[in-house]
């Protein structure tokens, strides 16, 4: 027993502190751990009978960056005066930072406890030992920093050469000093498909939705005890965005994409990571290996994703009728305008600058209805794209076929993989002894699962093959015909509003908007993608006005029918022909009356029918003294002018047209033919039926 250990120390317990810095050391450095536990024998040889082993901190560093429950419990026991000696194989096991080291030494000095390692015994109350403990604590901290510095310098040097490959992402395998593509063609097709669909759909979220809709899985890397393996799982947003953001798929080697930031929260140190911009990467080597996309396509994807973030760009095209959401910026306060939807169906967009109201309680800058502004910008966009519409239509025909071919290829590779898995499960089932039912039952279940996955993959492939056959695709002539009338396609209710928003965002970077109160106009300064600016003025609708009006064609039909029909009959004809109001409602007598009053269309007066200027087919035929069929055939041949506003509606003929000399001459010919018609023969009155 050493002279530094007295009976006062032996009357209390001794604590043996066991620690290793990482989980890797715990798994692989078995001898080090055995030596630490072996210190118990030395402690008992020193005379301590009560020895407590604290090994809660196995796998935890002593640098001070993580919380150590075992160390805190040991310090608490020392403070209570229950400990006579704290022991470790090396004193560096206690702490590798000055704060915790000096805390332990100070507590041991206050309660008269000694520190013991495999070499000697330290008394913190002795000035020489205290000096030695202080030096050892500083050396321990310096040694850890030196080792860390050497390791980081070696890692950075290897990374600067592009040879440091830690974890290859899905689609790549480690090679000597580089990366190579995964030889699995299904993996290659899946990675390429993610980039292609993102460029096509314009959003990472829409790419995810398309993959889920088609039932396609994505490859991910998982770590086993021996190596990294690829498995397939249902795609998530994080999986898709990690693929799209990783420069490794463009053939670039990167190192130092993130940096750690430490912040003190009370007595604990909390670390967080921050993603650096591309220009701040520690190492960036282009054309390091073969990628899945070119550098230009990868940069296009990054720019598109950046624009989709509302705080940075116009934001991704979302659902909703508002065509310019995210593109409008207030000229008065430079804030982006937000969208509200009004109306009975909450489908009428209204743009307002409410940023000042939301942030600091100021009054709103500007606010205006969005339908007329959207229509004006849409007209400008169509005018800009019309020269290239025919060429775009030709490309659309080719892209449609290529897109379907890629989908079929991906599903075909999935069927091949499922066929291989089912065959392998079958071979394993055949190889087992049938009498060993414990194993045979499990292998049979795996075989059945593989067959179910194969059947599911085959069903998806057949559905894709029959969903868009060549015969259903529009011909090139049809596509060119559509391209020649873009306005009709744009206004078609079946046209996807998200697609229209993407077209607008492709051509327009931003729109600066203000209101000219004197002229009651919305002033729009359009900043086009190429850098050109143009100003557009749109009349601001007054309160109570609604742009969701009835179509001009329907109004013209009502104007014609009101010459010969009452409002109730007009409503019947409009509904029979499938026409609706501007709000999508069926026509009634009251709605026709309201439409006539708004557009100042005279109503039909039955009491003045005999002298009316316009007649229906029956009245016109009676006036011309011919049959209705004769009159209708004359109108269809162009001999008499008449109006037929609805396919399932009445004819409208002007009385003046019937009284014209040319029409009277034709009617006279028709009447004379009817007068010269041969009378029925007497022999035809009786029909004799032969009995033979």
**What is the arithmetic mean of pLDDT over 163-189?**
85
And the tokens for 602?
A: 């005279």
632 neighbors 641 (Cβ within 8 angstroms): no
pLDDT in tens, 298-321: 998 988 888 777 555 556 666 678
- Element at 449 (helix H, strand E): helix 437-467
Provide the pLDDT for residue 471: 44
**Higher local confidence (pLDDT), 142 or 609:** 142
Of the ranges 395-399, 551-555, 593-597, the best mean pLDDT one = 593-597
Concatenated DSSP letters of 635-649: HHTTSS--B--STTS
Q: Which of 198, 193, 191, 196 is nearest to 172 (CA)?
A: 191
Lowest mean pLDDT among 6-15, 315-324, 441-450, 500-509: 315-324
Q: Which of 200, 197, 205 is nearest to 309 (CA)?
A: 205
Q: Which of 206, 217, 205, 193 is nearest to 292 (CA)?
A: 193
366 neighbors 330 (Cβ within 8 angstroms): yes
- Fold match between domain 7-157 and domain 172-308: no
Cα gap 145→151, rounded to integer Å? 10
Q: What is the architecture of the domain spanning 7-157?
A: 3-Layer(aba) Sandwich (3.40)
Strand partners, 220: 231
274 neighbors 268 (Cβ within 8 angstroms): no
172-308: CATH number:
3.90.1750.20
Of the ranges 379-383, 510-514, 548-552, the best mean pLDDT one = 510-514
337 neighbors 330 (Cβ within 8 angstroms): yes
Q: Quote the mean pLDDT of the chain.
A: 82
Q: Which of 171, 170, 186, 184 is nearest to 412 (CA)?
A: 186
Q: How many residues does the chain have?
A: 692
Sign of the CA dihedral running 41, 43, 47, 49: negative
Strands (E), 117-249: 121-122, 172-175, 178-181, 218-223, 228-233
**Higher local confidence (pLDDT), 454 or 683:** 454
203 neighbors 188 (Cβ within 8 angstroms): no
pLDDT in tens, 324-347: 888 888 888 888 888 888 877 777
Overall pTM > 0.75? no
Provide the pLDDT for residue 410: 83
340 neighbors 350 (Cβ within 8 angstroms): yes
Cα gap 9→7, rounded to integer Å? 5
User: C-alpha distances in angstroms, 49 versus 11, 17, 113, 115?
Assistant: 9, 16, 16, 17
The structural domains of the chain, with segments of one domain joined by +, span: 7-157, 172-308, 315-546, 552-675
Count Cβ atoms within 10 A of the Cβ of residue 9 and give its class: 0-12 exposed, 13-18 middle, 19 or more buried.
buried
């Amino acid at each position: 027993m050493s002279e530094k250990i007295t009976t006062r120390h032996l009357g209390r317990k001794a604590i043996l502190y066991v620690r290793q810095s990482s989980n890797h050391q715990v798994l692989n450095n078995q001898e080090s751990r055995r030596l630490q536990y072996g210190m118990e024998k030395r402690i008992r040889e020193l005379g301590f009978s009560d020895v407590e082993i604290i090994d809660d901190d196995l796998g935890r560093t002593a640098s001070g960056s993580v919380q150590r429950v075992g160390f805190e419990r040991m310090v608490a026991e020392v403070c209570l005066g229950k400990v006579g000696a704290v022991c470790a194989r090396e004193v560096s096991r206690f702490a590798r930072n000055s704060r915790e080291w000096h805390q332990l030494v100070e507590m041991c000095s206050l309660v008269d406890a000694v520190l013991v390692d495999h070499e000697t015994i330290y008394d913190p109350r002795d000035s020489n030992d205290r000096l030695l403990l202080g030096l050892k604590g500083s050396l321990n901290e310096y040694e850890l920093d030196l080792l860390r510095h050497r390791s980081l310098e070696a890692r950075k040097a290897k990374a600067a050469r592009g040879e440091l490959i830690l974890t290859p992402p899905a689609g790549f395998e480690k090679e000597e000093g580089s990366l190579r593509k995964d030889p699995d063609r299904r993996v290659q097709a899946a990675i390429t498909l993610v980039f292609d669909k993102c460029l096509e759909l314009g959003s990472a979220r829409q790419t995810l939705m398309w993959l889920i809709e088609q039932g396609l899985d994505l490859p991910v890397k998982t770590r086993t005890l021996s190596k990294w393996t690829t498995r397939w799982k249902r795609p998530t947003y994080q999986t898709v965005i990690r693929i799209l953001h990783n420069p490794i798929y463009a053939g670039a080697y990167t190192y130092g994409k993130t940096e750690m930031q430490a912040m003190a929260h009370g007595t604990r140190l909390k670390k967080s990571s921050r993603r650096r911009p591309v220009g701040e990467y520690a190492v960036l080597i282009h054309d390091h290996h073969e990628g899945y996309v070119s550098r230009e396509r990868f940069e296009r994807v990054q720019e598109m994703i950046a624009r989709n973030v509302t705080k940075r760009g116009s934001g991704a095209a979302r659902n909703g009728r508002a065509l310019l959401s995210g593109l409008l910026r207030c000229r008065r306060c430079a804030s982006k305008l937000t969208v509200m939807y009004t109306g009975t169906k909450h489908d009428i967009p209204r743009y307002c600058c409410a940023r000042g109201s939301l942030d600091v309680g100021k009054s709103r800058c500007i606010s205006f209805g969005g339908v007329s502004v959207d229509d004006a910008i849409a007209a400008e966009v169509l005018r800009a794209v019309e020269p290239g519409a025919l060429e775009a239509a030709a490309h659309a025909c080719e892209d449609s076929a290529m897109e379907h071919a890629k989908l079929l290829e991906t599903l075909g590779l999935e069927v091949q993989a499922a066929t291989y898995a089912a065959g392998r499960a079958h071979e394993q089932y055949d190889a087992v002894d049938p009498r060993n039912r414990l194993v045979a039952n499990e292998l049979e279940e795996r075989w059945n699962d593989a067959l179910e996955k194969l059947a599911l993959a085959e069903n998806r492939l057949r559905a894709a093959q029959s969903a868009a056959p060549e015969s259903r695709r529009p011909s090139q002539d049809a596509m060119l015909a559509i391209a020649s009338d873009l306005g009709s396609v744009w206004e078609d209710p079946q046209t996807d509003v998200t697609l229209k928003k993407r077209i607008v965002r492709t051509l327009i970077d931003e729109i600066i908007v203000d209101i000219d109160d004197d002229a009651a106009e919305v002033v729009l300064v359009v900043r086009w993608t190429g850098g050109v600016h143009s100003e557009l003025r749109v009349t601001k609708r007054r309160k109570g006005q609604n742009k969701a009006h009835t179509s001009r064609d329907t109004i013209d039909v009502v104007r014609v029918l009101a010459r010969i029909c009452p409002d109730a009959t007009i409503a019947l004809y409009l509904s029979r022909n499938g026409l609706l109001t501007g709000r999508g409602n069926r026509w009634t007598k009251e709605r026709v009356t309201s439409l006539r009053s708004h557009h100042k269309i005279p109503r039909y007066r039955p009491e003045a029918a005999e002298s009316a200027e316009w007649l229906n087919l029956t009245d016109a035929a009676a006036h011309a003294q011919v049959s209705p069929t004769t009159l209708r055939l004359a109108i269809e041949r162009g001999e008499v002018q008449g109006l037929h506003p609805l396919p399932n509606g009445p004819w409208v003929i002007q009385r003046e047209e019937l009284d014209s000399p040319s029409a009277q001459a034709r009617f006279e010919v028709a009447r004379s033919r009817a007068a010269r018609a041969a009378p029925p023969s007497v022999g035809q009155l009786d029909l004799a039926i032969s009995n033979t």
